[in-house]
Structures are given as structure tokens and as C-alpha cells.
Structure 1
């Protein structure tokens, strides 16, 4: 089995400033920590770095830092941070990003924006600029914002979009699981009608607060598999965010090694059980979506 982790975060508060970090997350998760938490029993493993939201003025610095540690972390591509609603400033920022060979796409975090933000003229103008470069867009939204992503696909039909974390549906926990809602199923089906949109099989462990099992999450995986098919799904770890486990005592979350490995093999087993081609979900689809030539064998195996 070979793996491209389509959604990996790296950060170091000693290098960059992240105002959102707290608790166990407020420490370095970079090369050393990643190498201690590798996926087991695979022939090759690489990753696509997705921006970790440092302060806005450090967006380029983040790309520069990740590029510097890419060889040792197996990062073959970067989805950089970019605000798409700044007009000429957006275009200038995209020009700066283009100087880095590993940048293949951008993410403007939509989950913290007001509903309808992705439908505004300024944002659509920026999205068109991304599409004109042949880059991708990672859409990180809450479940109720999925219709905004659908509207964006209709406004910018040549923009390749991947929905992060299945749109963050409410999944409950292992001892109090929730079923997929009718609204989320409907919105996923609507989005899937647009062939330029893919979905990342990522983030559900975080939505469960780190307390999850296969029976709880597989109904959500089944919905996106039925809607999108095996050619438009890609596995992602959402490491280290999805490696946080909620304390049973109600204290701070704590980091658990091995969750990345567990989630990868959970997806592989689920795909096998459903008759889906595992190599597509864990390797080929991510490379194809992000336009990455096949990584050199053995670099990060």
C-alpha cells in the first residue's frame, strides 16, 4: 500500500505566530513530531501540506518554512493560505506564491466567514484568479455552508475544488453517535453534481473530539462514496488536529500518537469492504487532483 496524505498540517510557534493555537496544540508539530508518528505498513508515504493559519502577514513565511522542511517531511505540494477577497492585493499575493514550486493551490478559510461570503463578487473575482493559474481551492466549511461551495462551483466552473473534512458534519462521539442528517446528505448530493469537485476523507476524528469508531463514522463515508464515486475521494489525516483526544475527565484535549495511522488503515479497510480501489483513495486521486507528478520512490518511505 502507498499513501499520499492529502491534508497535513505542520506548525511551530517558535517560527511563526498562530493566534488560534491553545492547549496541547500550542507546541511544535513539525518534522521531528511527524517522523515519530508515521503511517505503518506502507511502501511509500508522502503528504500535501495545507496552510495552518498563521497571522496573515506570515502567509508567505509559512510557505517558505514548509518548503525548507519539505524533503525531510515528505511534503510534495503546498496548499497555501490566501485571502481571495482583497482585489489587487489578492492578485499580488498570488503572484508571490507563484514563486514557490511546491504551491499547487490555496485555501481561504471559509468556516469562520459569514454565510454567503463565498458568493460575494470580491471573493468570486479572487477565485477566478486562482482558477486562471490552474491552481486548486480547498473549501473548509461547516456543514451548513456547503451550499455556498456549490454556488462557488457554479460561479467559477473551471476552479477545481476539494471539500475538506466532508464539510464537517456533526458525527457525535463513540458513545453518543449521530447519524447523517437529511440536510447534509442533500447538500452533499447537490455538490457532487459538479464534476470538478472532490472530497477529502479527513477531519471526522476531530469532529468527534478524538472519540470515534468505525461504525460511527462509516455512514458518513458511505454517503460521500455514493455521491462522488471512488474517483473523487482522497484520504487525509488532518494531522495533528485530528490526533487530539478529548479528556474523559473534562480537562484539556491531549495528543495521541497513532491516530493518523489508525485513520489511514480505517479508510483502507472501509474502501476494501465497499469494493472501492484503495490505491485511488490513498494515492492516485490526490496526485491527479493537485497535478502532482509521481513522487520519486523511496524519498519518504
Structure 2
């Protein structure tokens, strides 16, 4: 059974998503009900909702929406990776008001802000605060920014980090070596994990198993089976021509030949441990 560590839900009636105007293919509602139907069919037994970079004034409302969905009988949602602004002076107060039963970690999308944001002393100080609340931090950076991810992980050694989308590779033959080297360097940080998710969206629609295989195999080889988790990145995965069912099928195909214990760690057990899921 799979635990999906990267589900996005979109409800434009409740929340504002300014960036969706630039991505017409995603600019509609993506409901929990539609996800639930497909997820159960393909063996997903639990999921974490990943923040969707809502307008800053809607951050609390997004978390409330996830909490309401969690409370439904039989809900697949086990928690939220909520949005946060570690660069803000009031971040400590924001943390104090979070419900630990709902919020399992935080994310700040870092490829939409200047590189200096994640390197600032206040940002790092606030990231270190996550350790006292047993909250993780998802790093969402582009391939060129991966050295910044390394310095951030080094600056907060007691915080558990998760690198989203295999480090957002450029997915070109010319840049593969650079990505591979950066991922190997990042894997030296014991407090950093990697998420196999999102890469189909970067293929430009040219989605084949053999195109994905080198990225998946190197990510797992570098980090090891105990520091890798799976995420659907639904519905963003559709940008690469893969719906939820296709990405799940690809995941199974890419892990054929792996041991039962390796697949269990990747598919669910690591996520249970990292986010303390029941």
C-alpha cells in the first residue's frame, strides 16, 4: 500500500491561488472526492496534503480546509504539510498556533523568491525552531539552487528535511550529470530525505519509464531505501501527461525487482516514521 506524501487540492471557492492564472491546465478545482475515488482503486492507503502556495492571507484557511477533510469518517488524509513564511518576524508565533495533530510539517516554495531568502539568518533561525515542534520542512528548489538546499540542511541539523520532486531536475541529457552530482552531495546530509515525485511534470509531456528511470534510480541509490518517500504530486503530475493512475503504475514498474522490505520502506514505512503517522 502507498502513502502519498504530496497531494494538492484546489478549491477556488474557498481559497485564492494567484499562480494558477499562469497555468491554465491546472486552473480549476481539484477535489478530495475525485482524488479519493482513484486513490483507493490504485492502493493508496493514506495521504498528506501539500500546501498549494495559496495567497498569504489564505494560509490558515487552507490548513482549516485540510482539518475538515481529515475529520470525515474514513478519510485518507493523515495530515498537512502547511505553508509557512520562515522569513517573517512573526513566524515563531505562527508555529505556536499550529495544531500538531493536523500539521506534520511546513513548506515554503523557494524557487519563487530570491535565493537570498532561504540563506538569511532569520530564515535559518526560524527553520531551527521546527525541531522543537517535531515538524519537518519540505525543500522545493530548482536544480540550480540545490547547493542552497545543502547549506539550509547544514544550518539546521536537528530538523528533518525532505527534498521535493527529486530536486526538480532539468530533465535534459546535458544537465543530468550536474543534477546527479548535486544529489550525491545532498545525500551526505543525514537529516535530509528525498521525495520521488513531480518529475513527470518536467518532461514536457515526453513521459516514458526509461526517461524517468535514471533519476529515480540515482535518487534512491544516493539516499538509500530508508531516506526516500513517494508522492503523487497530483494534479501537477498531469502536466507531464501522467494522471494519478499512470504515475502509480510507473512507480510499481520502476521498482520491479526490488525486495519486499525495500518497497515497503519506500511506499509507506519511511513516511510513517518521518511524519509520525498512525
- Which residue of the partner structure matches residue 77 of structure 2? 75
**For the Cα contact (< 8 Å) 1:34–1:73, is it kept in 2?**
no
**For the Cα contact (< 8 Å) 1:180–1:219, is it kept in 2?**
no
SS at 1:152 equivalent = helix
Find the aligned partners of 1:94 and 1:4 in 2 and give their Cα distance. 26
> How many corresponding residue pairs?
273
CA spacing shift, 1:209–1:96, aligned 2, 3 Å? farther
- Which residue of the partner structure matches residue 299 of structure 1? none
- Deviation of the 1:272 alpha carbon: 2.6
Find the aligned partners of 1:151 and 1:116 in 2 and give their Cα distance. 12
- Deviation of the 1:40 alpha carbon: 3.2
Structure 1: 5+ residue stretches without partners: 173-177, 247-255, 294-301
SS at 2:97 equivalent = helix
Find the aligned partners of 2:174 and 2:270 in 1 and give their Cα distance. 27
- Which residue of the partner structure matches residue 6 of structure 1? 5
**For the Cα contact (< 8 Å) 1:60–1:96, is it kept in 2?**
no
What is the CA deviation profile of residues 218-261 of structure 1, one whole-angstrom value per residue up to 9, with x for unaligned ones? 00111111110111111100000112356xxxxxxxxx7xx212
TM-score, structure 2 normalization = 0.92
What is the CA deviation profile of residues 26-74 of structure 1, one whole-angstrom value per residue up to 9, with x for unaligned ones? 21112222134325342x5210111011110111110001111123651
- Deviation of the 1:285 alpha carbon: 0.9
Find the aligned partners of 1:225 and 1:73 in 2 and give their Cα distance. 30
- Which residue of the partner structure matches residue 34 of structure 1? 35
Find the aligned partners of 2:165 and 2:150 in 1 and give their Cα distance. 16
**For the Cα contact (< 8 Å) 1:104–1:136, is it kept in 2?**
yes
CA spacing shift, 1:67–1:210, aligned 2, 3 Å? farther
TM-score, structure 1 normalization = 0.85
Structure 2: 5+ residue stretches without partners: none
**For the Cα contact (< 8 Å) 2:138–2:164, is it kept in 1?**
yes
**For the Cα contact (< 8 Å) 1:235–1:264, is it kept in 2?**
no
What is the CA deviation profile of residues 106-126 of structure 1, one whole-angstrom value per residue up to 9, with x for unaligned ones? 001111122243221011011
CA spacing shift, 1:291–1:107, aligned 2, 3 Å? same
Q: Confirm or deny that 1:203 pairs with 2:198.
A: yes
> Which one has more relative contact order, counting CA pairs under 8 Å at least 6 apart?
1
Which has the larger share of helix? 2
**For the Cα contact (< 8 Å) 2:207–2:240, is it kept in 1?**
no
